[in-house]
Each structure stands twice: as structure tokens, then as C-alpha cells.
């Protein structure tokens, strides 16, 4: 991948941090990028009848945060001696601290939650993925556990999905795995309230949807010789289809959208749902 800036890896010291670190280091190696390990810390506050106050004694939290990063850097350097790894302990609330640290990076890597398997989605990861100025990888499982599956991306013909597809193609090529383009039609509510049913695809529309996805697949194969690109057209809601396809996949790629000053910095409903429900790690791309 052609990009500048380091790969920033957010570490919170939780059970999932080891998986997040390993995933980020391996991604930095693929990109031949520098690494910046970031840990945000905050002074606790005491509540009194007169308000909130910081403790009067030095708790040494800044030194503890730096010691934690130094230890993680030593482990990372031992496992990946070819990487250039720096650290930064930042004081402040996690979300603004990580957004500031990500300025100028080519990728921000963060664990989906503090759980060892990265299940669920923490509020910090959700806010960072939605508002970071750079692409964000939300790590949901340990890298290298079992054979690598494909990289999956949803396509609907929009500019955001085309950008996400090209990001996904580069990710698949760097991993030496297949790319799967998923075109899903949303479900609609049963007017009688009994169940939800997929929107039927008329033969002509089904053929047109498959043709458009196949044409994009051919373009990606031409841009990346040797890349295997598969196309799947399904009758399902886009978010559910991508979450279902994420099982056994190495990575799901989604895009961001936005308007005006926030262009490219807001998650759509599909991307947000995939972040919450995907079984794999999710890469949130940013439109150029």
C-alpha cells in the first residue's frame, strides 16, 4: 500500500491489547511503515461538595503509562526487529487523545473492546472509527489464528463503495488472499407483520447487479495482476450479509461517508452495524 505516516496502534493495557498489538505490527510490516504505540491515561478526580479536584499527591500515572509502553515496545521489537517503533503516552480522555495522535498517520489500529476475543464494540472504538481523520482498523480477533480467509467488501455502485473496494483489493493482495465483492439487496418488512423478506431480484435487475459487480471485479484484477476476485450477489440486507460473510474471513472493509466539513468522517448505518456485528476485524476506509 502506498501511503505515508506511521501505523498508530492504540493500547489500553486490557486483555485484547496483545492481539491488537500483534495485528498492528503485522500490518505495519506489510506496509513497510513505522509504528507508533499510543497509550492514553487520565488522572483520577476526587469529588467534594465544592466540585471535582485532582489528587494532591503524585500518583505516578505518567511514569506508569510510559513504563507500560516501554515494555510493549521491547516485546514488539523482539518479535519484529525490522520495524521502527516509537511510543507516546498521552494524558486525556481516550477518544480525543487517540484522534489527535492519529493526525498524519496512514492507519490507526484499535481493539474492538477490552475482551480477549474483541467481541462487542466499545464506545471508544466506535467513536474513533467514526471520527478519526485516517483509516481505522478495529481488531476483533488475534492475527494468525488459523488459515487466513478472504478480504470481504460490500459494493453498491456508490463512490464510497468503489473506494472501499480498492482499499480491500490492496489489503487482499498484501495478505495473499482472495477478495470477495458482496452486492446485497436489503430486506423489507412484511406488510402483514409476520416476518421480513428479501426484496426479490427481477431477472433483469439481478443480471444488471451481477454484471456491475463483475465489471468492477475485472477492473480490480487488471489493476492487481494475480489477485483472485470473487463476486457474490445475495438477497439480504447489506449489513447482515457482510456480518455473515465475515465469519471465516480475514478482514471486512467498509467505508465512511459525510457531508460538508465532515465529509469522509461519519459512519453510515451499514458500516456502523458491521463494526458492531462482524466476526472478523474491520477496516474503515476514508475517501480521498
pLDDT, one tens digit per residue, over 96-108 is 999 999 999 999 9
Residue 215: per-residue pLDDT: 92
Judging by DSSP bridges, how do beta strands 136-139 and 35-41 pair with one another?
Answer: unpaired
Per-residue pLDDT reduced to its tens digit, 255-285: 876 433 334 445 678 899 999 999 999 999 9
Residue 105: per-residue pLDDT: 97
Residue 46: per-residue pLDDT: 58
**Alpha-helix runs per DSSP H in the chain:** 17-31, 61-79, 94-101, 123-131, 159-175, 203-223, 238-246, 269-277
Examine the pLDDT at 35 and tell me if it is beyond 80: yes
Nearest to 221 by CA among 279, 162, 276, 169: 169
Most trustworthy range by pLDDT among 44-53, 190-199, 243-252: 243-252
Residue 41: per-residue pLDDT: 82
The answer to whether 21 touches 71, Cβ cutoff 8 Å, is: no
Judging by DSSP bridges, how do beta strands 251-254 and 281-284 pair with one another?
Answer: parallel
Pairwise CA distance, residues 13 & 114, whole Å: 9
Residue 246: per-residue pLDDT: 95
Q: Is the dihedral of CA 171, 181, 240, 132 positive or negative?
A: positive
Pairwise CA distance, residues 94 & 92, whole Å: 6
The model's confidence at residue 44, banded by pLDDT at 50, 70 and 90, is low
Q: Mean pLDDT in the chain?
A: 84
Pairwise CA distance, residues 84 & 221, whole Å: 33
Pairwise CA distance, residues 180 & 168, whole Å: 9
> Which residues have CB under 8 Å from 122's CB, separation 6+?
111, 112, 113, 114
Residue 20: per-residue pLDDT: 94
Pairwise CA distance, residues 139 & 113, whole Å: 9
Residue 244: per-residue pLDDT: 95
29 torsion bin: left (phi>0), alpha (psi -120 to 50), beta (else):
alpha
Per-residue pLDDT reduced to its tens digit, 220-268: 999 999 999 999 988 889 999 999 999 999 999 998 764 333 344 456 7
Q: Cα-flanking dihedrals φ and ψ of residue 7, to 5°? A: -90, 115
Three-state SS at 168:
helix
Residue 193: per-residue pLDDT: 58
Confidence (pTM): 0.83
Per-residue pLDDT reduced to its tens digit, 133-169: 899 999 987 545 567 899 999 998 888 889 999 999 9
- Does residue 92 or residue 42 have the better pLDDT? 92
Question: 30-39, 134-143, 184-193, 234-243: lowest mean pLDDT where?
Answer: 184-193
Pairwise CA distance, residues 256 & 284, whole Å: 7
Amino acid at each position: 500500500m502506498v501511503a505515508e505516516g506511521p501505523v498508530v496502534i492504540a493500547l489500553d493495557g486490557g486483555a485484547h491489547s496483545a492481539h491488537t498489538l500483534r495485528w498492528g505490527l503485522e500490518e505495519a510490516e506489510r506496509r513497510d511503515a513505522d509504528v507508533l504505540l499510543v497509550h492514553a491515561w487520565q488522572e483520577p478526580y476526587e469529588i467534594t461538595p465544592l466540585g471535582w479536584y485532582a489528587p494532591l499527591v503524585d500518583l505516578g500515572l505518567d511514569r506508569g503509562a510510559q513504563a507500560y509502553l516501554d515494555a510493549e515496545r521491547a516485546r514488539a521489537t523482539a518479535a519484529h526487529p525490522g520495524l521502527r517503533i516509537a511510543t507516546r503516552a498521552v494524558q486525556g480522555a481516550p477518544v480525543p487523545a487517540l484522534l489527535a495522535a492519529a493526525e498524519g498517520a496512514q492507519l490507526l489500529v484499535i481493539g474492538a473492546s477490552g475482551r480477549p476475543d474483541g467481541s462487542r464494540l466499545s464506545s471508544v472504538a466506535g467513536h474513533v472509527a467514526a471520527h478519526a481523520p485516517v483509516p481505522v482498523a478495529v481488531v476483533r480477533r488475534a492475527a494468525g489464528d488459523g488459515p487466513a480467509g478472504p478480504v470481504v467488501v460490500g459494493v453498491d455502485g456508490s463512490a464510497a463503495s468503489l473506494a472501499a473496494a480498492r482499499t480491500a483489493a490492496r489489503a487482499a493482495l498484501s495478505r495473499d488472499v482472495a477478495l470477495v465483492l458482496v452486492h446485497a439487496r436489503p430486506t423489507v418488512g412484511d406488510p402483514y407483520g409476520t416476518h421480513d423478506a428479501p426484496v426479490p431480484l427481477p431477472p433483469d435487475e439481478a443480471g444488471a447487479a451481477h454484471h456491475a459487480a463483475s465489471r468492477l471485479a475485472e477492473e480490480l484484477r487488471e489493476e492487481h495482476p494475480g489477485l483472485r476476485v470473487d463476486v457474490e450477489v445475495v438477497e439480504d440486507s447489506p449489513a447482515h450479509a457482510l456480518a455473515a460473510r465475515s465469519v471465516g474471513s480475514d478482514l471486512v472493509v467498509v467505508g465512511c461517508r459525510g457531508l460538508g466539513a465532515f465529509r469522509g468522517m461519519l459512519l453510515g448505518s451499514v458500516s456502523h452495524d458491521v463494526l458492531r456485528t462482524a466476526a472478523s476485524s474491520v477496516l474503515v476506509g476514508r475517501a480521498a
